[in-house]
Structure 1
């Protein structure tokens, strides 16, 4: 199940590139949900690849305020979309899409990009520490909020090594400066339903992820019985930025398989 991704021919096939034939059915809309310490622009490279191959894409603005509220915001967006949807989540966004898919029958597949694949009643904090390897806690910078609660940022000096070590330092400096904080309560929020039990699911993750260790990713993928689990050797937590082609390809595979 677990294998390194990278074959050009497979990527082309997954994205729906091929020879002439019968008219293809309409492609699903791909909805991309970013996680903590990121924003929707992190999907730009993935969107570029998907759009080249005829997919309509929407990069949702994840509020990062509470798991219930964030899932409700994405759910509302899903309800506005006509036709099938492939729902994609990065990091904490994995919890969000798992809950947001519930009750939205147009969601036909889930794709987790360095993302949490939670069972009902699980939180980001609990899953990230299920196995050793996460160093995120020591990299966080808490900011108390005036109305109560705490926002969490990654310390700029630690952002490159913690979040995106496979990207150039000048790129990660911009990512660190524009990161969006997540509330501590959002990371402690527990999911209500494991929609991956009813939907075909896929995952791609980096072997060198310091936010969600590879051991956690393997555990979650095996438990969920995902259709495909792809490990990027040396990949960081920011796979959608550092490996957009591979991420786009597994999304394309999920989309192509809807007709199977």
Structure 2
């Protein structure tokens, strides 16, 4: 009898330890992992998320990386909005650079989006365009002819053009912190943003109703750290600082993945 009582007490004690070690699992035993949707920005493509995608998949997350057309803020947001409308279950929507402006608009009104994660990203308020939000000291806040190559595109509205980053701006400012050889490989495949997309006014921001996280690159030369902080604080985001340039998703994939998974576990 005495041995039976000791065994019962030991089992009860172990049960308490297990519950304490995994409170999230105990509270939400059947809670599905959210789908992580990664949205790239201008002068990049979905491959910029490769290392982060690999890490997230390794941790058991379903990851989707839809192409961002980079044609106009309204149509790009509609593209991502339509894409996520086909997904079931909870979603964490992540945007880098211009992709931040896209998710700010695309997530509005979608109850499945449980969190927004901004990575060195624009987080505009209603009525704001992205180019002025880059900051007074941004490498882009100069004579545009010195940083962009202007390229016409078929069907462009009057006065609109594609903007490609000039070589020096790309490798020294956009890709600052990326090993030079890798930056040189990224430069030829950059995807352009239209001039009109950079000047189109944003709509009602999703961060007004959806919890957000912000990864702030303290060495970013494209969207200055000061400008990022203003946007992150205004969005009431949980802020994580990384010592990285604008492409922290390439140079610091572990830190970015950690923040994305924090957002995923919080919902």
What TM-score bracket applies, with the shorter chain setting the length? 0.7 to 0.9
SS of the counterpart of 1:55?
A: coil
* Larger relative contact order (Cα-Cα within 8 Å, sequence gap ≥ 6): 1
Alignment correspondent of 1:159: 170
The Cα of 1:176 is off from its aligned counterpart by: 0.6
Q: What is the aligned counterpart of 1:244 among 231, 253, 267?
A: 253
The Cα of 1:144 is off from its aligned counterpart by: 2.4
For 1:230 and 1:177, the matched residues in 2 are separated by 31
How many residues end up aligned between the 2 structures? 237
SS of the counterpart of 1:112?
A: strand
Unaligned runs of 5+ in 2: 1-20
Q: What is the aligned counterpart of 2:147 among 121, 125, 139?
A: 139
SS of the counterpart of 1:60?
A: coil
The Cα of 1:24 is off from its aligned counterpart by: 5.4
For 1:59 and 1:153, the matched residues in 2 are separated by 22
Kindly provide the CA deviation profile for residues 122-151 of structure 1, in whole angstroms up to 9, marking residues without a partner as x.
11112113xx21012442222123433200
Alignment correspondent of 1:191: 202
For 1:146 and 1:93, the matched residues in 2 are separated by 23
TM-score w.r.t. length of structure 2: 0.85
TM-score w.r.t. length of structure 1: 0.87
Q: Is the 8 A contact 1:90 1:114 kept in 2?
A: yes
SS of the counterpart of 1:231?
A: strand
Alignment correspondent of 2:40: 34
Unaligned runs of 5+ in 1: 1-17
Larger Rg computed on CA atoms: 2
Q: How does 1:1-260 map to 2 (within 5 A)?
A: 22=26, 23=29, 25-129=31-135, 132-136=136-140, 137=144, 138-148=146-156, 149-226=160-237, 228-233=238-243, 235-258=244-267
CA RMSD in angstroms, aligned pairs only: 1.5
Alignment correspondent of 1:11: none
